[in-house]
């Protein structure tokens, strides 16, 4: 599985836990710290924890270990480092404050939608 496919798999896990405003930032041409950032928002610290735990659990079951975690105590911003892919799970207001999408504004950004939710909105 390449890093973009891996990023998309993480995005699906996020959507399964009702994370929203999911974006994948392609950093390959900009930095060597990671190939991709996967960023999402959550409405509460409980939801931030649920999303981060679900990502960690589902990937661990596939033998993919998280190299580093940060923010598990405050739960405003949890970072999960999978070497080439770094996941940022934000409380909505914390995400707005730090503005990673603006900081990495030269990155190609892919917005990931929950197709089921989108279909319900159209009905």
Residue 121: what pLDDT?
46
**What is the C-alpha radius of gyration for the chain, rounded to an integer number of angstroms?**
14
Sheet of 36-42: strand order equals 68-70, 77-81, 85-91, 36-42, 20-26, 108-112
Asked whether residue 119 carries a pLDDT value surpassing 50, the answer given is no
Task: Report how far apart, in Å, the C-alpha atoms of 43 and of each of 32, 92, 94, 121 are.
Answer: 31, 6, 10, 20
Asked whether residue 120 carries a pLDDT value surpassing 90, the answer given is no
Tokens 């994948």 belong to 24
Query: Mean pLDDT of all residues in the chain?
Result: 92
Burial 16-37 (b: 16+ CB within 10 A, else e): ebebbbbbbbbbeeeeeebbbb
Distance of CA 58 to the CA centre of its chain: 14
Element (H, E) at 10: helix 3-16
Region 7-15: mean pLDDT is 97
Give the whole-number percent of the chain exceeding pLDDT 90. 88
Cβ of 111: how many Cβ atoms within 10 Å?
A: 9
**Domain boundaries defined on the chain:** 3-122
pLDDT tens-digit map of 19-34: 999 999 999 999 999 9
Cβ of 91: how many Cβ atoms within 10 Å?
A: 20
Cβ of 2: how many Cβ atoms within 10 Å?
A: 9
CATH superfamily of 3-122: Beta Polymerase, domain 2 (3.30.460.10)
pLDDT tens-digit map of 40-87: 999 999 999 999 999 999 999 999 999 999 998 999 999 999 999 999
Residue 1: what pLDDT?
81
Residue 115: what pLDDT?
66
pLDDT: which is higher, 116 or 99: 99
Asked whether residue 123 carries a pLDDT value surpassing 70, the answer given is no
| Confidence (pTM) | 0.91
């Amino acid at each position: 599985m390449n890093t973009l496919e891996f990023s998309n798999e993480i995005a699906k896990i996020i959507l399964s836990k009702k994370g929203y405003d999911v974006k994948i930032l392609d950093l390959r041409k900009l930095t060597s710290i990671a190939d991709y950032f996967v960023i999402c928002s959550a409405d509460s610290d409980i939801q931030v924890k649920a999303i981060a735990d679900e990502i960690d659990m589902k990937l661990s079951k596939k033998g993919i270990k998280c190299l580093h975690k940060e923010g598990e105590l405050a739960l405003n911003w949890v970072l999960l480092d999978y070497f080439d892919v770094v996941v940022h799970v934000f409380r909505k207001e914390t995400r707005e404050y730090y503005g990673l999408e603006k900081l990495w504004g030269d990155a190609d950004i892919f917005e990931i939608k929950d197709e089921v939710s989108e279909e319900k909105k159209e009905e």
